[in-house]
Structure 1
Amino acid sequence: MKKTIYFLLTKSIGLYINFLSFVLPKKATALAYSLFSEPRDGKLTAATLPEILQKAETRTFTHNEASFQTYTWKGNESVILLVHGWESNASRWEKMLPYLQQTGSTIIAIDGPAHGLSSGKEFNIPQYASFIDIVVQEFKPQHLIGHSLGGKTCLYYQSTYQNTSIKKMVVLGAPSDFKIILKNYINLLSLNASISKGLETYYLNHFKLKLENFSGKIFASTIITKGLVAHDADDKVVLFEEGKKIASSWKDSVFIKTKGLGHSMHDDELYKKVSAFLFESN
């Protein structure tokens, strides 16, 4: 029954947007983009803050009229920055955190735009990357770890900003081709060609990006930082082939195939491999 209701709801929304595109095309495109970019999960309040985040030192930054939250578990001068994905928040790292803390490092996690305690309703990768850059400039992390769209944001960040203080990056379950994500959304709502074209134009005008170039594989090809890419064969959210695309173009990277972890990729053995990769001597 829930699946039927969800199907009817999504198709009804799509039908309305398609109708609107014939009379108010700009408004229809804006609505389609708003629905696409607004997460429906992952927000937090001070009253609902998970215990793992309550144990951290918190700090709020402001940037271009937006605010975003960071959480720090203090250690030594080695700094690791954690970047979560879509409809999540900094608490998603709770299971990995003990393994990283065993290295003695200072761990910093960030809430992305419109997630956790950060402000806003819209999530987009360029804005997320600008948040990351502020944190990098402030705390000088040597290591970046990103999951899902957070992983793709890390790729975009390092490709765009080319920060030499970042020595190693870990990308878990990240998508490569943005066009696939957008196409899945368009198919879900059965949006017409006018809306599809309008969304492509929106990205070009607002982010100066052609969708075919908004690719994790392309970003990775420009990165000289040493990388580890891990992807699960049973990932139903981001297909395994996406991780292989990223790894294939990243010159100085290793690829780990996991199985049975799904998209979350929570696994003790994987955490050990990530820690070993970050702190290996060569």
Structure 2
Amino acid sequence: MSTTINAVSRVSAGLAGSAAYTLFHMPLARSKMRSSERELFAATHRGRIRVNGKSAVTYLWGSGERPVLLVHGWQSRGSRYADLIPGLLDRGYSVVTFDAPGHGDGTGRSTTILEYRSILTELHDQYGTFEALVAHSLGTLASFYAIKGGVKAERIVALSGVRDFEYLLDEFCAELKLRPVLRGELLTRIGKHLFPGMPADLMPFSVSHATEAITAPVLVVHDEGDSRIGVGQGRGIAEAFGDQARLIITQGLGHRRILGDPEVVRAVLEFVEHGHDAAGRSEAQAEVIPAKD
């Protein structure tokens, strides 16, 4: 695919840029529900949210009171939070999650940060202010974008989170070995279609652009060896929020295992229930959860 796009770019950068932009929003794999997740998800109330002719599938446990929203990342699905959900239910929360278009049981082949924002906004309209919002990977960036747009949460958790949309662009271009001209074409389309009207110095979106609109405490958990989203993105989220943030660096969990690690689950549950003291922690003072043998 990258060879074809690069070859086309030598004839028409615009045509190749359009193809790259389409590919940028298409997950290359659709996650399936694991057997260990099925019993929990058989006991949920399912719904649908229509967005741009596609459907996101929603899941609710509980009455809807004291809602906690769980937002999945790229090529993932809501059921990846199966290790966290029982603890939230035991503490009296209702739990809401979803499969975005192109993910899990959602329809369509693609999605965008704008569609994530639309889904989060509709869920917010249904359930009101979330007592907590927990997001993973790309879901973190999309969640902060939605919060900047009016979605409210009393506590925010970023797991393996993306701070900068431009980081995703650079990783995509590097993975496909796209020519530099295509990066410029992609950035132009991103500005036009995803962030229209955004000032040039604030495009594309970064979590740091949302800090003034957010007063909630933030828990950031990121693995130092994350090969998908570098730990610098997690550190950057914590730095952007200063005294509002607490940073935990894990070891040996990578990008996805962090969701089910017992120590991470415990830290998230404690934060959702009790918050933290909001004491400022420098990069050198970040807490560390070591790898288990």
Instruction: Compute the displacement of 1:185 (Å).
Output: 1.9
Q: Aligned residues, how many?
A: 265
User: 2: CA distance between counterparts of 1:51 and 1:39?
Assistant: 26
Q: Return the match for 1:149 from 138, 148, 159.
A: 138
1:150, 1:174 within 8 Å by CA — same for their partners in 2?
yes
User: 1: CA distance between counterparts of 2:165 and 2:51?
Assistant: 25
Question: TM-score, with normalisation over the residues of structure 1?
Answer: 0.86
2:137, 2:160 within 8 Å by CA — same for their partners in 1?
yes
User: 2: CA distance between counterparts of 1:250 and 1:56?
Assistant: 35
Q: Return the match for 1:84 from 72, 76, 94.
A: 72
Could you list the per-position Cα deviations for residues 226-253 of structure 1 after superposition, in whole angstroms to 9, with x for gaps in the alignment? 2111111121111111111001111422
Q: Return the match for 1:257 from 246, 249, 257.
A: 249
- What root-mean-square deviation, in Å, do the aligned CA atoms of Structure 1 and Structure 2 show? 2.2
Is 1:179 the counterpart of 2:174 in the alignment? no
* Pair 1:98–1:218, CA change in 2 (3 A): same
Q: What's 1:277 paired with?
A: 271
User: 1: CA distance between counterparts of 2:106 and 2:173?
Assistant: 27
Q: What's 2:221 paired with?
A: 230
Q: What's 2:19 paired with?
A: 31
2:208, 2:240 within 8 Å by CA — same for their partners in 1?
yes
- Matched letter for residue 105 of structure 1: Y
* Pair 1:188–1:270, CA change in 2 (3 A): closer
Is 1:112 the counterpart of 2:104 in the alignment? no
User: 2: CA distance between counterparts of 1:177 and 1:281?
Assistant: 25
SS of residue paired to 1:122: coil
2:51, 2:115 within 8 Å by CA — same for their partners in 1?
no
Is 1:245 the counterpart of 2:236 in the alignment? yes
Mapping for residues 146-225 of structure 1, pairs under 5 Å: 146-161=135-150, 163-164=151-152, 166-207=153-194, 208=196, 213-220=204-211, 222-225=213-216
Instruction: Compute the displacement of 1:275 (Å).
Output: 1.3
User: 1: CA distance between counterparts of 2:271 and 2:214?
Assistant: 17
Give unmatched runs, 5+ long, in structure 2. Answer: 277-293
User: 1: CA distance between counterparts of 2:40 and 2:228?
Assistant: 26
Instruction: Compute the displacement of 1:137 (Å).
Output: 0.7
- Matched letter for residue 202 of structure 1: R
Could you list the per-position Cα deviations for residues 40-90 of structure 1 after superposition, in whole angstroms to 9, with x for gaps in the alignment? 223559xxx944322211011223423211011115721111100000111
1:217, 1:247 within 8 Å by CA — same for their partners in 2?
no
* Pair 1:281–1:17, CA change in 2 (3 A): closer
Instruction: Compute the displacement of 1:189 (Å).
Output: 2.1
Instruction: Compute the displacement of 1:197 (Å).
Output: 1.0
Question: TM-score, with normalisation over the residues of structure 2?
Answer: 0.83
User: 2: CA distance between counterparts of 1:187 and 1:63?
Assistant: 30
SS of residue paired to 1:117: coil
- Percentage of matched positions with identical amino acids: 28
- Matched letter for residue 271 of structure 1: V
User: 2: CA distance between counterparts of 1:238 and 1:216?
Assistant: 15
- Matched letter for residue 215 of structure 1: S
Deviation beyond 6 Å, 4+ runs, structure 1: none
User: 1: CA distance between counterparts of 2:32 and 2:105?
Assistant: 5
Is 1:41 the counterpart of 2:29 in the alignment? yes
User: 1: CA distance between counterparts of 2:22 and 2:39?
Assistant: 32
